[in-house]
Amino acid sequence: MEQWAGIRQRVLVEGASKRSVLRETGIHHGTLEKMLTYSQPPGYRRAAAYAKPKIGPYVDRIRQILIEDRSAPKKQRHTAKRIFDRIRSEGYTGGYTQVKVAVREIRKRQKEVFVPLAHRPGEAQVDFGYALVKEAGRLRKVAFFVMTLPYSDAIFLQVFERITTEVFWEAHRRAFEFFESVPWRITYDNETVWVAKVLSAHGRKLTRGFLQRQSH
């Protein structure tokens, strides 16, 4: 059980590659996948699943799409119908109902996965957003930048007129001055100021403006 939790921590929280874990531990690839799917060793399960001749070959593909959706904005995530259309273009010949059932089962298993969050000293999280504030008796929309240090629960918040690349860098400078230090690791969401497109669960295409500003 201790190894189970340790491997889940390394891959799902710390970002270690599956290949490195397989090489270091010597466990079977199927065992690793089971460890990443379930928060604890599952009990008895049917030795052989019911035959699903049409949807069966596409279950892994559906699971891959749903995993990639985790890092995509909610409006860009796949519905069962969109997944059905995608795998049908890839050769699936079954009906929509089988796809809907498969999506529901996979999502249910994903919700069962529990990953304890552990933050080391010096790690930070950044978020941009908008909020309504009352100024001189009137409500208006403003942008806000938040940097938190989860280990100590320290927080820096700054309000700006809008979210831009220049604001992104200026907000970081002010946060570093506030904390009197620079975090060794910062986690970001997929804000459109710096992310043009989400490519995969761990891949992003950065905006041209962000890259140009970063190179200066």
175/110 same-domain check: no
pLDDT tops 60 at residue 131: yes
* pTM attached to this predicted model: 0.42
In the chain, pLDDT over 90 holds for what percent of residues? 17
Question: How large is the average pLDDT for residues 99-126?
Answer: 77
Per-residue pLDDT at 157: 93
198/155 same-domain check: yes
177/156 same-domain check: yes
pLDDT (tens digit, 9 = 90+) per residue, 15-45?
777 877 777 777 777 787 777 776 666 654 4
154/177 same-domain check: yes
Question: How large is the average pLDDT for residues 163-185?
Answer: 90
102/135 same-domain check: no
Per-residue pLDDT at 84: 93
- pLDDT band at residue 193, thresholds of 50, 70 and 90? low
Domain assignment of residue 55, given as a range:
51-118
Residues 6+ away with beta carbon under 8 Å from 7: 21, 25, 27, 32, 35, 36
Average pLDDT, the chain: 78
